[in-house]
Amino acid sequence: MRDVFAEEGARARRAMVREIEAYGALRDPAWREAFARVPRHLFVPSYYVPGPGGYERLWSGDPDPARRTRWLRGAYRDGTLATRVRDGELLSSASQPSLMARMLEAIDVREGHDVLEIGAGTGYHAALLCHRLGDTHVTTVDLDEEITESARTHLAAAGYRPAVITRDGARGCPEHAPYDRIVATCAMPSVPSAWLAQCRAGARILTPLSTGLLLLTVQGPDRAEGRFLATSAYFLAVRGGSARSVPRRTGGLPRRMYDDERFAFLTGLAGESLGTREALSLWQRERRPERERFGVTVSGGRQWAWLDDPEGPYAWPLPDA
């Protein structure tokens, strides 16, 4: 059965790579080769798909050949996969491969770089990094011991053995520092100061914030600055000491306003620092500003978001991390 999965999986991977390339990602041949070689199906031996009345589980050991085929083909679709569901609530998921590709290309890893991943997930993202850099250059952390154990098992099955550590990702992993790149695969309310302290000067940090991807360049142990990528990104919130819940506010505005992706990004980034009316006023004056016009500065224990210019008129504090 494994040989059948390997052969069919290889065909499915080639199709997945073509699909990702059609979206404009995988311009780097080294990442293209990683996506073509790392067997994603080994990292999602089971997952859930929406079905009548809830979720339906697909898995590699299903006695029904047709359902096994559905599982294998689904593992290589360019989409997010629900990997843990409890009482109808989504607890964890495997990210969309094309989004992973964009994130990996954005951090611009080079040979010899040491990378810290926040949020181990299924282990697939760490496997791609291992394929590119080698096991000893990759560390992945997650607060949930069940997730790290599962990721470790998946990685070993695929032939990769990076450091997989159970801990609050907001604290980083100082024993394997310093890092050249830090990439988070869970949404953060702000940038943890521990990450900067564990980076070499010139390192890059990529983290989901609001519904965007923030790319920072580290200038020192307490200084970093950068802008958001153009692409949208929706990740589950980080668990642990930095987790915060920001209520979805309407502030008397029509709910359709929050269906506008750019406005939802702005209000998510503004958090509780800007009132709803103030956010709307900025939004209207600047004519629906794109994500890449926004950025974040971290300096001297403070951090703030801004539009166009870190020292400009549109700036507001982010929560301490």
Give this prediction's pTM: 0.92
Residue 118 bridge partners (DSSP): 141, 184
CB atoms within 10 A of CB 275: 12
DSSP, collapsed to helix, strand or coil, labels residue 185 as coil
Residue 92 is a catalytic residue: yes
Contact 225, 217 (CB under 8 A): yes
Total count of residues recorded for the chain: 321
pLDDT mean over 150-160: 97
Contact 260, 188 (CB under 8 A): no
Distance between CA atoms of residues 316 and 299, nearest Å: 14
Which pLDDT belongs to residue 75? 96
pLDDT mean over 31-45: 97
> Which amino acid belongs to residue 173?
C
Which pLDDT belongs to residue 244? 44
> Which amino acid belongs to residue 317?
P
Burial zone of 66 (CB within 10 Å; 0-12 exposed, 13-18 middle, 19+ buried): exposed
Give the confidence band of 281 by pLDDT, cuts at 50, 70, 90. Answer: very high
Structure tokens at 231: 């692409």
- For 258-270, what is each residue's pLDDT tens digit? 778 899 899 999 8
- For 194-245, what is each residue's pLDDT tens digit? 999 999 999 999 999 999 999 999 999 999 999 999 999 988 776 554 444 3
- For 42-96, what is each residue's pLDDT tens digit? 999 999 998 887 889 999 999 999 999 999 999 999 999 999 888 777 778 899 9
Average pLDDT over the chain reads 91
Distance between CA atoms of residues 16 and 10, nearest Å: 10
Give the confidence band of 3 by pLDDT, cuts at 50, 70, 90. Answer: low
- Cα Rg for the chain, rounded, in angstroms? 20
Residue 193 DSSP symbol: H
H or E stretch covering 198? none
Of 135, 115, 100, whose CA–CA distance to 177 is shortest? 115
Quickly tell me which residue has 């291992």 as its tokens. Answer: 130
Which pLDDT belongs to residue 238? 67
> Which amino acid belongs to residue 28?
D
CA 196 and chain centroid, separation: 18
- For 81-108, what is each residue's pLDDT tens digit? 999 888 777 778 899 999 999 999 999 9
Helix boundaries (H) for the chain: 2-22, 29-37, 65-75, 97-107, 124-133, 145-157, 193-197, 256-259, 261-270, 276-285
Distance between CA atoms of residues 207 and 204, nearest Å: 10
- pLDDT > 70? residue 2: no
Quickly tell me which residue has 């507001």 as its tokens. Answer: 316
How do the domains of the chain map onto residue ranges? 1-96, 256-317
- pLDDT > 90? residue 304: yes
Provide φ and ψ at 126, rounded to 5°.
Answer: -65, -35
| Catalytic annotation, pick one of 60, 92, 98, 273 | 92
